[in-house]
Amino acid sequence: MHKLYVVGLLFFSLLLTLVLMQPAHAISPNIVISQLQLGSVASASNEFIELYNNSTSDSEVTNWCLYYASAGSTQIGNKMTCFTPDNENTHLYIPGRTFSFAISNQLSIYQTSLGSDFKFSAALSGTAGHVRLIDSGGLEVDKIGWGSTAVSAEGLKPAVVPATGKVLSRKIIAGNLLQDTDINSDDIEAIFPKTSYSYGSIYEVQDVCINISGIQTSIPIGYTVDATDNCIPPPVDICPNLDGLQTAVPDQYWQDVKGNCQKDSCLNITGVQQKLPDGMKYSDDGLLCILDLLPLQITELLPNPIGSDEGNEFIEIYNPNSSSVNLSEYKLMVGVSAEKYNFPAGSIINPNQYMSFSNDDIKFTLVNTTSSVKLVSSDDQQVYESSTYFSPEDGSAWSLIDGSWQYTNQPTPNEVNRVSLIEPGSGAIEPDGLMPCAANQYRSPETNRCRLFVTSVSTLAACKDGQYRSEETNRCRSIASDVGQLMPCAEGQERNPATNRCRSVSAVLGANNLTPCKAGQERNAETNRCRNIVGTIPSAGYAPEQANESSNNSILMWSLISVGAIAICYGIWEWRQEIVNALKKVKFGFNNK
């Protein structure tokens, strides 16, 4: 019952609001039809309608209209004339205790000296009919019905038809106050017309803010008028430190934390530079930001790696400066199409550092035929260009070595570049005038000097009698033959019969006086050193137990309990009256037993 009562009360309130609410119209019950002339002795078409502001206050009559309807009609009728302004910004008013006068076109011709506010085509019946004053919203403000057959007169009692030469006139109560009881037969009488009629009291008011409710005769404080006559608050100047009104941050400016707009530090660089970028300086004329560094260099390219190209191609950059360089100020241009690539965000190349970028880091492609790579600054000025390579072999890097570009079979990303290794028996021809290199050497193409091959021990010539090969240098060394002349070995050492050198006893395989290894360790048969035993993972004698995620279940359980408790409390509060009544009934039932 409580719920039904609440719902019913809300529905009744809503219905009452809809009934009582009316559209907001400029209705003024003060404006009345004060006189009607249905015709004159001279002509039945000599008609006029007089209106009167029956109050001391000015009343707006913008777009109000006069209508005529026949005696038997209950409809609004046909429009005769209207208070129409010149434009939508104009509002028309009738001052308090003044008249408005409208005459028929025929009367204006018959009596040319008679002035008026409006004219209309003669239409009033001399026997019965209705004249209505309708406001701009279509609501009836006043009405006069005359003749016994007029079915829509105020109070359903029409005024008596005036005799020829008289007019229908609203009765005067006192002074300049006219009677308006909404009963035409009581309010209207037949009298002779006045000797003169007033007109021209209507005045107009310009609304300077058509978008604001009400009439604004002047621009409100703090507002401005736009091109469509809308009044808007003045725009906020978001750059108070600049001359003039700034409704947005101007081009080539940025806004600091204080709300001031500061000029872009480098107008020639794309984007807004809040400060001079690292590694740059202003030009002599102060208009451009230019690099203030030794140019970065492209030092190595790997267009044709062994195996897959994906993630293995790379471009190497070298910083010859004594300060770090932010690579965000640079771009790579690859190939004939010169497509531009940005470096990964946050790339900083340190002083004298080689830094390589693979085609995983930057999505470039180095073709395997012929191409080159350029390094350009952020303002598209070329900084460095590699030499052009031609059909490199698999695994050959195109490298800048000792100032010249050449192929090398030793790619060195992120490192100083190295020349190619020349294998023995390569058939290299010696330059004229130079002695041939030894069998285990090759001639450096950069220095024309002989250099040792890096090769395996298995290809080296055997050492002479009385020599052995050094494990560190692969060179043959003499074996000391007179053991008696050698210094005794230190304690814990013994003489190596192969080299006559002292060595640790623990290095002798099969020694039986070594310290036992700790538990969980074993002796390495090759080095006689102890090492941890790497065994198989022992199997458990029982099945592993599954861990329960009780914490998540507890959180869920308590969440559900909390939500349920809130719902129950809300239900008790919402139905508290019904619960109290039910308890009272239960108590009453127990008391009656």
| 359 & 483 share domain | no
Q: Please tell me the predicted confidence (pLDDT) of residue 566.
A: 75
Phi/psi of residue 20, each to 5°?
A: -80, -30
Q: What pLDDT was estimated at residue 249?
A: 86
Residue 240 placed within a domain: no
Tens-digit pLDDT profile for residues 66-80: 999 999 999 999 999
User: Is residue 52 one of the residues assigned to a domain?
Assistant: yes
10 in any annotated domain = no
Number of domains in the chain: 3
Confidence of residue 485 (pLDDT cuts 50, 70, 90): low
Tens of pLDDT, residue by residue over 405-440, are 999 999 999 999 999 887 555 544 555 555 566 555
Same domain, 158 and 94: yes
Range of the domain at 464: 456-511
Name the pLDDT band for 537 (thresholds 50, 70, 90). very low
461 lies in the same domain as 386:
no
The answer to whether residues 504 and 516 touch, using CB atoms and an 8 Å cutoff, is: no
Does the residue 228 lie in any domain?
no
Residue at which a domain ends, from 346, 381, 408: 408
90 and 181 both lie in a single domain? yes
237 within domain boundaries: no
pLDDT of residue 558: 67
Task: Look at residue 469 in the predicted model and tell me its pLDDT.
Answer: 66
Who contacts 325 (Cβ-Cβ below 8 Å, separation ≥6)?
Answer: 278, 279, 293, 296, 319, 348, 349
Least confident of 444-458, 465-479, 575-589: 444-458
pLDDT of 98 strictly over 80: yes
- Higher confidence at residue 122 or residue 573? 122
Q: Report pTM.
A: 0.42
Banded model confidence at residue 454, pLDDT cuts 50, 70, 90: very low
Query: Mean pLDDT lowest for which of 48-52, 226-230, 314-318, 555-559?
Result: 555-559
- Both tokens of 336, joined, read 């004939």
Query: Do 404 and 498 belong to one domain?
Result: no
| 530 inside domain | no
Residues 399 and 465 grouped into a single domain: no
% the chain with pLDDT above 90: 46
Residues 390 and 467 in one domain: no
Residue 536: per-residue pLDDT: 42
- Mean residue pLDDT of the chain comes to 80
Phi, psi at 206, each rounded to 5°: -90, 125
- The reply to whether 15 falls in a domain is no
pLDDT band at 531 (very low <50, low <70, confident <90, very high): low
**Pair 110, 190 in one domain:** yes
Residue-level pLDDT at 65: 97
In this prediction, residue 579 carries a pLDDT of 77
pLDDT at position 174, please? Answer: 87
122 and 194 part of one domain: yes
Q: Is residue 267 part of a domain?
A: no
Higher pLDDT, 15 or 58: 58
Shared domain for 377 and 504, answered yes or no, is no
Question: What is the 3-class SS of 478-490, one letter each residue?
Answer: ECCCCHHHCCCCC
What's the pLDDT band for 336 if we cut at 50, 70, 90?
A: confident
130 in Cβ contact with 144 (< 8 Å): yes
Burial degree of 591 (CB within 10 A; 0-12, 13-18, 19+): exposed
Domain final residue pick, 511, 536, 552: 511
Q: What is the CATH number of the domain that holds 396?
A: 2.60.40
Last residue of a domain, one of 511, 545, 577: 511
Identify whether residues 403 and 486 lie together within a single domain.
no
Tell me: do 308 and 387 sit in the same domain.
yes
Structure-model confidence comparison of residues 293 and 186, the more confident one: 186
